[in-house]
């Protein structure tokens, strides 16, 4: 069995893992390894290849601030272009040579004796081990598909495919299709699949609020301006950021301010659906913003197609040949698409990360709920930094902004550890408790708490542990510097080298 000793191990080669690798390297830290179970970079943008997969955050905001992309073809990007962008950035920064693909982390445990993370891996099935002073968890909250627990699903005789594990070889042409779910993934894939399917039943449990998607191709003049007018793309990015940020006010502090958004959504329904009864079925019954506000121009017209039925009677069971609803109606299909989201607050990954007292993240969070400090560190888990950890999700703007905020925090943490010869860093229980009390306080008037919906933002106890309540620039401010006072640190014979010129390193992330 091979063993690697490194200063830092990064799990995940998506936006956050790759960003961490680049920022470490730019700051003179080269003793790291990136581990990813996939074939290349991209994380969720590599894994979600269903037809119509696209980003509902404007392209200008959906890139690293240090690697803006003047070549985006459209104002909202589609999956293949984002996947390509991430791989291009990785190549530009030479991160491929530091990355081990097709490598699954099977267990990662903190060893007090070694003051190291002992990380068990399997590369193409061959076991190995990595020992690291610091572990960075960059797996993202949307990586483990959630298969619905519906009676009989295992006995279905046709094809079952999850939206996040698409089978490009399966031909939907002429097939009878059932799609379970009406979230962000379903509303993108249904219009595409409906174009070729013989018939498509959409099983809706909760209708989502959907605004129009103002997507368009960038003109040649715009591309010229992105490339040649200094500051033009940054200024546009800043404008888009500011416009999106305004929504955070309504979501967090004053849901009534979202009324205009609801009216836009209602107009979208009226424009897209001719049939009155169908319009009523497609109209949500909770406050806009409580679940993610979606963007689409073709979802409602797709529901209105002759070969599409919107089924709102709950699913009772799945048989060998199809889906039976609670009213007893059986609908036979050839293929069932489960667009039922991800294990967010109960990810299986949490069971594989074991802290100082021998308990896993899953065990600890089962007790106290998914919580940490500044979305990054968790009491009981020394030298572990989570990217997009608890309380960092957003309903209104780009996660890349949050990731880059955490990258500032990471870089300052690593610099501090090196400068001060720190061997063990653990956020204190008090700091974590106080931070989470602040989060819950900020959530009290939010639409997520008061909007009358169930959502994946909530954990099993009904607490919202996934979202950052408020403006993202406040998170940026909170993570600008590593606030060592919130941590219990131990110093010793430092396992890591001191930075040569710690303060002459590239600046942190921008908007």
For ligand N01, the binding residues (CB under 6 A) are 54-57, 142, 148, 150, 163, 180-186, 203, 205-206, 292, 315, 339-342, 454, 456
Q: Give the residue with the Cβ less far from ligand N01, 182 or 252.
A: 182
Q: Give the residue with the Cβ less far from ligand N01, 163 or 432.
A: 163
Q: Give the residue with the Cβ less far from ligand N01, 35 or 210.
A: 210
- Alpha carbon 435 to chain centroid, angstroms: 22
Q: How far is the CB of 116 from ligand N01 (least distance, A)?
A: 34
Q: How far is the CB of 58 from ligand N01 (least distance, A)?
A: 11
Structure tokens at 226: 């992105």
- Alpha carbon 480 to chain centroid, angstroms: 22
Q: How far is the CB of 162 from ligand N01 (least distance, A)?
A: 9
Q: How far is the CB of 314 from ligand N01 (least distance, A)?
A: 8
Q: How far is the CB of 203 from ligand N01 (least distance, A)?
A: 6
Q: How far is the CB of 343 from ligand N01 (least distance, A)?
A: 10
Beta strands, E only, 138-232: 159-162, 176-180, 199-203, 210-211
Q: Are residues 129 and 119 in contact, defined by beta-carbon separation less than 8 angstroms?
A: yes
Please give the helix or strand (H or E) that residue 118 lies within, else none.
strand 116-123
Sign of CA pseudo-dihedral 92, 94, 97, 103: negative
Beta strands, E only, 212-352: 294-295, 308-311, 315-318, 322-325, 330-332, 335-338
Cα separation, 491 vs 285, whole angstroms:
55
Of 372, 284, 294, 379, nearest in space to 339 by CA: 294
Spatial strand order of the sheet with 315-318 comes to: 315-318, 322-325, 330-332
Of the chain, the end-to-end C-alpha distance in Å amounts to 43
Q: At a CB cut-off of 8 Å and minimum separation 6, what does 256 contact?
A: 250
Residue nearest to ligand N01 (CB): 183
Helix-strand-coil percent breakdown of the chain, rounded to 5? 35, 20, 45
Q: Give the residue with the Cβ less far from ligand N01, 142 or 211.
A: 142
Cα separation, 145 vs 204, whole angstroms:
18
Q: Give the residue with the Cβ less far from ligand N01, 85 or 342.
A: 342
Q: How far is the CB of 365 from ligand N01 (least distance, A)?
A: 19
Q: Are residues 138 and 20 in contact, defined by beta-carbon separation less than 8 angstroms?
A: yes
Q: Give the residue with the Cβ less far from ligand N01, 392 or 416.
A: 392
Q: How far is the CB of 163 from ligand N01 (least distance, A)?
A: 6
Q: At a CB cut-off of 8 Å and minimum separation 6, what does 475 contact?
A: 374, 375, 392, 402, 405, 468
Q: Give the residue with the Cβ less far from ligand N01, 54 or 193.
A: 54
Of 401, 400, 399, 425, nearest in space to 412 by CA: 425
Q: How far is the CB of 307 from ligand N01 (least distance, A)?
A: 21
Q: How far is the CB of 359 from ligand N01 (least distance, A)?
A: 28
Q: Give the residue with the Cβ less far from ligand N01, 303 or 427.
A: 303
State the chain's maximal CA–CA distance in angstroms. 73
Q: How far is the CB of 294 from ligand N01 (least distance, A)?
A: 8
Q: At a CB cut-off of 8 Å and minimum separation 6, what does 154 contact?
A: none
Contacts of range 474-478, beta carbons closer than 8 Å, 24 or more positions apart: 475/374, 475/375, 475/392, 475/402, 475/405, 476/401, 476/405, 476/408, 478/374, 478/405
Q: Are residues 278 and 303 in contact, defined by beta-carbon separation less than 8 angstroms?
A: yes
Q: Give the residue with the Cβ less far from ligand N01, 32 or 50.
A: 50
Q: Give the residue with the Cβ less far from ligand N01, 148 or 301.
A: 148
The total number of residues written for the chain in this structure: 511
Q: Give the residue with the Cβ less far from ligand N01, 331 or 433.
A: 331
Q: Give the residue with the Cβ less far from ligand N01, 76 or 373.
A: 76
Q: Give the residue with the Cβ less far from ligand N01, 150 or 422.
A: 150
Q: How far is the CB of 146 from ligand N01 (least distance, A)?
A: 7
Structure tokens at 367: 């007790």
Structure tokens at 382: 């020394």
Of 359, 314, 406, nearest in space to 17 by CA: 406
Q: How far is the CB of 38 from ligand N01 (least distance, A)?
A: 18
């Amino acid at each position: 069995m091979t063993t690697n000793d490194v200063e830092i191990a990064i799990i995940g080669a998506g936006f956050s893992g790759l960003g961490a690798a680049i920022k470490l390297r730019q700051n003179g830290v080269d003793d790291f390894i990136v581990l990813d179970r996939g074939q290349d970079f991209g994380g969720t943008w590599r894994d979600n290849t269903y037809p119509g997969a696209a980003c509902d955050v404007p392209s200008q905001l959906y890139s690293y601030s240090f690697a803006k992309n003047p070549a985006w073809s459209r104002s909202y990007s589609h999956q293949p272009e984002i996947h390509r962008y991430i791989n291009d950035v990785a190549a530009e920064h030479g991160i491929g040579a530091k990355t081990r693909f097709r490598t699954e982390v099977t267990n990662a445990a903190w060893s007090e004796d070694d003051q190291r993370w002992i990380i068990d891996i399997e590369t193409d099935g061959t076991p190995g081990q990595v020992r690291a002073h610091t572990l960075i968890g960059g797996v993202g909250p949307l990586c483990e598909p959630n298969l619905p627990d519906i009676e009989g699903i295992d006995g279905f005789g046709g094809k079952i495919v999850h939206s996040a594990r698409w089978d490009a070889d399966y031909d939907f042409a002429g097939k009878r299709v059932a799609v379970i779910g009406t979230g962000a993934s379903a509303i993108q894939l249904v219009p595409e699949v409906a174009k070729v399917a013989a018939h498509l039943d959409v099983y809706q449990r909760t209708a989502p609020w959907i605004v129009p998607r103002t997507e368009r191709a960038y003109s040649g003049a715009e591309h010229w301006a992105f490339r040649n007018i200094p500051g033009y793309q940054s200024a546009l990015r800043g404008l888009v950021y500011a416009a999106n940020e305004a929504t955070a006010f309504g979501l967090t502090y004053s849901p009534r301010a979202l009324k205009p958004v609801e009216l836009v959504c209602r107009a979208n329904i009226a424009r897209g659906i001719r049939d009155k009864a169908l319009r009523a079925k497609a109209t949500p019954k909770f406050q806009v913003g409580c679940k993610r506000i979606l963007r689409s121009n073709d979802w409602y017209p797709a529901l209105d197609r002759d070969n599409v039925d919107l089924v709102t009677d709950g699913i009772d069971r799945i048989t060998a040949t199809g889906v039976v609803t609670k009213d007893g109606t059986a609908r036979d299909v050839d293929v069932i698409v489960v667009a039922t989201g991800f294990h967010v607050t109960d990810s299986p990954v949490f069971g594989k990360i074991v802290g100082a007292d021998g308990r896993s993240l899953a065990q600890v969070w089962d007790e106290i709920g998914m919580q940490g400090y500044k979305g990054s560190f968790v009491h009981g888990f020394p030298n572990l930094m989570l990217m997009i950890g608890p309380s960092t999700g957003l309903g209104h703007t780009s996660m890349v902004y949050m990731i880059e905020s955490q990258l500032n925090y990471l870089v300052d943490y690593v610099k501090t550890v090196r400068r001060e010869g720190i061997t063990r860093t653990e956020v204190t229980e008090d700091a974590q408790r106080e931070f989470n009390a602040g989060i819950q306080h900020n959530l009290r008037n939010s639409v997520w708490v008061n909007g009358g919906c169930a959502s994946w933002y909530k954990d099993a106890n009904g607490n919202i542990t996934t979202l950052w309540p408020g403006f993202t620039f406040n998170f940026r401010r909170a993570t600008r510097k590593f606030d060592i006072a919130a941590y219990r640190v131990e110093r010793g014979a430092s396992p890591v080298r001191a930075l040569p010129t710690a303060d002459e390193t590239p600046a942190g992330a921008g908007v």
